[in-house]
């Protein structure tokens, strides 16, 4: 490896930052799906929807990661791989290094050497992408998030439990666009708009909003030629009686009224049109404290918009290099073909996750494009599917590619599986797996992808037997989010039962397939046993409320499916009741 330390001595080097990008549904990107953070600049995720692909690929973050890895320095966002290796497991880093050294041949060292000479700028666009084109999915798995499942996004009960990841991984803010006569400023501020005195972004029935703390400001710079005439303001429901709101613009009062408990929309015409350099909108209101909520709240802002005359250039159109997608990247076919896949003839790998790739049209469009370009035969496809839908037309397209690795996202067996991956049916999944097994061979490889969490920790062996019985290799990934489903919230004695079952399975040669699989299972056993203990009564209560909320809305029963887990928790002193969260019970 000419770019730094010799490979055997370099315990942090991973080839992926030189060849790969993972692109998330909202446009942010990661060096791989395992890393703990998006590619960012001073903590703000970069987005393909607001910055050219080339700028992200060779951003200071990416170059810093490459420099660190080449020098053998650990990268904080890659800790998952280092922890797996510390416990004797085979990390994504080790797998990727082996796979791509073989796949790229001499190109491997050429790429690294060229980047080293250019201070870690990689001239070629990625040769291998993981794409998550949207969140269209037919399931709402308990450990999943709205950005990966349209079903969870639409489910008011599930969504209220997992809004945070959406906000954490949200793409860089969109640029202000002064060309359309109307500019939204809040609750999700574009780049260049400053909010002060607002609480975090919330979501109610699909409507984003923020509470103010009673004295909130929104500040925006007005470009030359733009003149603001009207403010449009929409408030959500939930205010008490006789709640007052006063709006000032550049400290001049423009609105002072008692607002409706149900909220509503107001157009506030300014006494005179305002020009720059700056506009400061202050929302002063009475405050109140709702029952069972420690927060002091002002008003629930669903929309604050400026109506203006005069047009300035759209900064997105002035982007120095590279075209930006119009709207969500995966809905702009031309951008996907011409920008993202500009190096289709050099592409070596493409990995689709979702959403559910079997039903996402953009996945099929990309496959069609690569087949039409005559490059499908050069590309190894990877594909994660929940196995609930198998479309023959899609399967025929997959078979046009050099190799296809199909990841079967199945975390448990039978009723436990159905409980986690609602509203799937085990019988359907079993039939589809049989069909895929019939395709498996030199071109089609299957592997199982199991997410270890509270709901399957005690029952893992059932799904391992299923995969081993069909000679399908598998990997177990330990869920760290959502935190209330991570196994480290379970009492040590419950984790010990789970670890012991897995150890016994790994030690049984008639059941567990092969030494590699056995080594992987034993590394998972060690991670279960050594997991930092985060078990507290509060953590278990959060698990219980989440579980009961979802059970009630899905007509499922934790007592029927997870009776053993509840008995073990009871033995550790935690009493599982039918209590639900305030919000869900309301």
Binding site for ligand SF4 (CB under 6 A): 14, 16-17, 31-32, 34-35, 78, 80-81, 91-93, 96
Please tell me the distance from the alpha carbon of residue 289 to that of residue 298, in angstroms, as a whole number: 9
How is residue 208 written in tokens?
A: 């984003």
| Shortest spacing between CB 77 and ligand SF4, in angstroms | 7
Please tell me the distance from the alpha carbon of residue 422 to that of residue 203, in angstroms, as a whole number: 22
Name the DSSP class of 336: I
Please tell me the distance from the alpha carbon of residue 502 to that of residue 524, in angstroms, as a whole number: 8
Angle at CA 246, nearest 5°, toward 244 and 252?
165
| Shortest spacing between CB 167 and ligand SF4, in angstroms | 23
Report the residue number, 32 or 444, with the smaller CB distance to ligand SF4: 32
| Shortest spacing between CB 453 and ligand SF4, in angstroms | 20
Q: Is residue 366 a contact partner of residue 350, using CB atoms and an 8 Å limit?
A: yes
| Shortest spacing between CB 82 and ligand SF4, in angstroms | 8
Report the residue number, 103 or 229, with the smaller CB distance to ligand SF4: 103
| Shortest spacing between CB 439 and ligand SF4, in angstroms | 28
Taking the chain, what is the end-to-end CA distance rounded to the nearest angstrom?
61
Strands (DSSP E) contained in 354-452 are: 380-385, 403-409, 444-452
Report the residue number, 91 or 523, with the smaller CB distance to ligand SF4: 91
| Shortest spacing between CB 322 and ligand SF4, in angstroms | 24
User: Dihedral through CA 326, CA 329, CA 335, CA 341, nearest 10?
Assistant: 170
Nearest to 496, CA basis, from 464, 543, 454, 458: 458
Please tell me the distance from the alpha carbon of residue 310 to that of residue 354, in angstroms, as a whole number: 41
Q: Is residue 485 a contact partner of residue 562, using CB atoms and an 8 Å limit?
A: no
Exposed/middle/buried for 526, CB within 10 Å: 0-12, 13-18, 19+? middle
Nearest to 206, CA basis, from 151, 128, 243: 151
Report the residue number, 32 or 340, with the smaller CB distance to ligand SF4: 32
Report the residue number, 89 or 482, with the smaller CB distance to ligand SF4: 89
| Shortest spacing between CB 89 and ligand SF4, in angstroms | 12
Report the residue number, 111 or 216, with the smaller CB distance to ligand SF4: 111
Please tell me the distance from the alpha carbon of residue 125 to that of residue 127, in angstroms, as a whole number: 6
- Give kind and range of the element (H or E) at residue 516: helix 515-530
Please tell me the distance from the alpha carbon of residue 197 to that of residue 393, in angstroms, as a whole number: 53
Please tell me the distance from the alpha carbon of residue 235 to that of residue 301, in angstroms, as a whole number: 5
Report the residue number, 77 or 360, with the smaller CB distance to ligand SF4: 77
Please tell me the distance from the alpha carbon of residue 85 to that of residue 481, in angstroms, as a whole number: 21
Report the residue number, 92 or 239, with the smaller CB distance to ligand SF4: 92
| Shortest spacing between CB 67 and ligand SF4, in angstroms | 14
Report the residue number, 5 or 513, with the smaller CB distance to ligand SF4: 5
Please tell me the distance from the alpha carbon of residue 448 to that of residue 463, in angstroms, as a whole number: 9
Report the residue number, 79 or 227, with the smaller CB distance to ligand SF4: 79
Helix axes 60-70, 106-117, angle to 10 degrees: 110
Nearest to 382, CA basis, from 408, 360, 362: 408
Report the residue number, 34 or 274, with the smaller CB distance to ligand SF4: 34
Please tell me the distance from the alpha carbon of residue 199 to that of residue 77, in angstroms, as a whole number: 28
- Give kind and range of the element (H or E) at residue 258: strand 252-259
| Shortest spacing between CB 328 and ligand SF4, in angstroms | 25
Collapsing DSSP to helix, strand or coil, 260 comes out as coil
| Shortest spacing between CB 99 and ligand SF4, in angstroms | 11
Please tell me the distance from the alpha carbon of residue 121 to that of residue 100, in angstroms, as a whole number: 19
Report the residue number, 66 or 170, with the smaller CB distance to ligand SF4: 66
| Shortest spacing between CB 358 and ligand SF4, in angstroms | 25
| Shortest spacing between CB 20 and ligand SF4, in angstroms | 8
Q: What is the CA radius of gyration of the chain?
A: 26
| Shortest spacing between CB 476 and ligand SF4, in angstroms | 16
| Shortest spacing between CB 103 and ligand SF4, in angstroms | 15
Q: Is residue 300 a contact partner of residue 225, using CB atoms and an 8 Å limit?
A: no
Report the residue number, 32 or 186, with the smaller CB distance to ligand SF4: 32
Report the residue number, 67 or 140, with the smaller CB distance to ligand SF4: 67
Q: Residue 270: which residues within 8 A CB-CB, separation 6 or more? A: 228, 229, 230, 231, 249, 254
């Amino acid at each position: 490896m000419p770019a730094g330390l010799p490979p055997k001595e370099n315990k942090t080097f991973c080839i992926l930052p030189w060849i790969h990008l993972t692109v998330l549904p909202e446009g942010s990107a990661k060096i791989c799906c395992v890393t703990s953070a998006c590619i960012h600049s001073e903590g703000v995720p970069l987005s393909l929807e607001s910055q050219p692909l080339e700028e992200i690929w060779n951003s200071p973050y990416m170059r810093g990661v490459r420099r660190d890895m080449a020098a053998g320095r650990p990268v904080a966002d890659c800790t998952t791989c280092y922890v797996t290796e510390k416990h004797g497991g085979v990390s994504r880093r080790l797998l990727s290094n082996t796979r791509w050294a073989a796949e790229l041949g001499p190109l491997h060292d050429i790429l690294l050497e060229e980047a080293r000479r250019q201070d870690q700028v990689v001239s070629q666009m990625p040769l291998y992408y993981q794409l998550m084109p949207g969140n269209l999915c037919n399931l709402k798995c308990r450990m999943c998030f709205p950005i990966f499942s349209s079903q969870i996004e639409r489910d008011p009960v599930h969504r209220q439990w997992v809004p945070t990841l959406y906000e954490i991984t949200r793409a860089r803010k969109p640029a202000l666009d002064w060309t359309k006569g109307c500019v939204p400023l809040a609750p999700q501020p574009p780049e260049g708009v400053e909010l002060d005195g607002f609480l975090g972004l919330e979501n109610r029935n699909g409507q984003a909003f923020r509470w103010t703390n009673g004295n909130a400001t929104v500040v925006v710079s007005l470009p030359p030629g733009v003149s603001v005439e009207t403010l449009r303001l929409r408030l959500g429901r939930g205010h008490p009686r006789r709640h007052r709101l006063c709006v000032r613009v550049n400290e001049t009062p423009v609105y002072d009224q008692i607002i409706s408990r149900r909220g509503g929309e107001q157009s506030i015409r300014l006494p005179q049109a305002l020009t720059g350099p700056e506009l400061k909108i202050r929302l002063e209101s009475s405050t109140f404290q709702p029952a069972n909520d420690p927060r002091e709240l002002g008003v629930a802002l669903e929309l604050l918009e400026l109506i203006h005359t005069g047009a300035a250039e759209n900064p997105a159109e002035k982007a120095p290099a590279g075209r930006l997608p119009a709207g969500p990247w995966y809905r702009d076919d031309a951008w996907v073909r011409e920008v993202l896949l500009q190096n289709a003839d050099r592409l070596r790998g493409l990995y689709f996750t979702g959403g559910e790739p079997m039903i996402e049209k953009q996945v099929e469009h990309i496959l069609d494009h690569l087949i039409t370009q005559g490059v499908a035969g050069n590309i190894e496809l990877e594909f994660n599917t929940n196995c609930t839908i198998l479309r023959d037309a899609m399967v025929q397209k997959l078979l046009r590619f050099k190799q296809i690795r199909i990841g079967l996202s199945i975390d448990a067996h039978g009723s436990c599986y159905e409980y986690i991956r609602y509203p799937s049916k085990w019988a359907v999944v079993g039939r589809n797996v049989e069909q895929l097994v019939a395709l498996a061979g030199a071109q089609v490889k299957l592997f199982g992808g199991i997410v270890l969490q509270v709901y399957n920790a005690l029952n893992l062996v059932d799904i391992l037997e299923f995969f081993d019985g069909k000679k399908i290799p598998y990997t177990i990934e330990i869920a760290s989010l959502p935190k209330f489903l991570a196994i480290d919230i379970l009492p040590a004695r419950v984790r010990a039962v789970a670890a012991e079952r897995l150890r016994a399975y790994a030690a049984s040669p008639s059941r567990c397939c092969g030494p590699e699989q056995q080594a992987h299972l034993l590394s998972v056993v060690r991670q279960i046993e050594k997991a930092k203990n985060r078990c507290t009564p509060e953590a278990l209560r959060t698990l219980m409320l989440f579980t009961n909320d979802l059970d009630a809305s899905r007509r499922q029963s934790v007592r029927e499916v997870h009776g053993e887990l509840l008995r073990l928790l009871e033995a550790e002193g935690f009493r599982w009741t039918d209590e639900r969260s305030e919000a869900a019970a309301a």
